[in-house]
Amino acid sequence: AQKVTQAQTEISVVEKEDVTLDCVYETRDTTYYLFWYKQPPSGELVFLIRRNSFDEQNEISGRYSWNFQKSTSSFNFTITASQVVDSAVYFCALSEARTGANNLFFGTGTRLTVIP
């Protein structure tokens, strides 16, 4: 069965520090998709990135970077030079190709607090 584990419940960092949010997943599918979403205090989930199981290239977008490693079943998210606006709950999610409706299975989230 599919599973997404975000072991870090809460993280606090001082502004301008780098922070890495961990995500470990389990799946029996050989084709799957991984996602990160941001949930600011307003509540709406904001899509950040999707990664396909056949593409292990790391990705960088501004201060955000993602490290996908199939060998360890991990899809970690790093924020460089954190800012107060990064304070939010971050969710990692998994979608398996065999599920026709592309349902997302979410981790329990990591609450990031950036202290000014």
Partner 1 sequence: SQTIHQWPATLVQPVGSPLSLECTVEGTSNPNLYWYRQAAGRGLQLLFYSVGIGQISSEVPQNLSASRPQDRQFILSSKKLLLSDSGFYLCAWMAGVDREQYFGPGTRLTVT
* 104 counts as binding partner 1 under rule CB under 8 A: yes
Q: What are phi and psi of 70, to 5 degrees?
A: -65, -30
- Residue 92, CB half-sphere, CA atoms under 13 Å: how many? 28
Interacting residue with partner 1 among 8, 23, 25, 35 (CB under 8 A): 35
What residues pair up with 21 in beta bridges, in sequence order? 77
Interacting residue with partner 1 among 53, 82, 87, 95 (CB under 8 A): 95
Number of chain residues interacting with partner 1 (CB under 8 A):
22
Least distance between partner 1 and beta carbon 22 (Å) = 15
Whole-angstrom distance, CA of residue 87 vs CA of residue 52: 27
* 41 counts as binding partner 1 under rule CB under 8 A: no
Least distance between partner 1 and beta carbon 10 (Å) = 10
Pairing relationship of beta strands 10-14 and 110-115 according to DSSP bridges: parallel
5: tokens are 């584990």
Q: Which residues lie near partner 1 (CB under 8 A)?
A: 33, 35, 37, 42-47, 50, 91, 95, 100-109
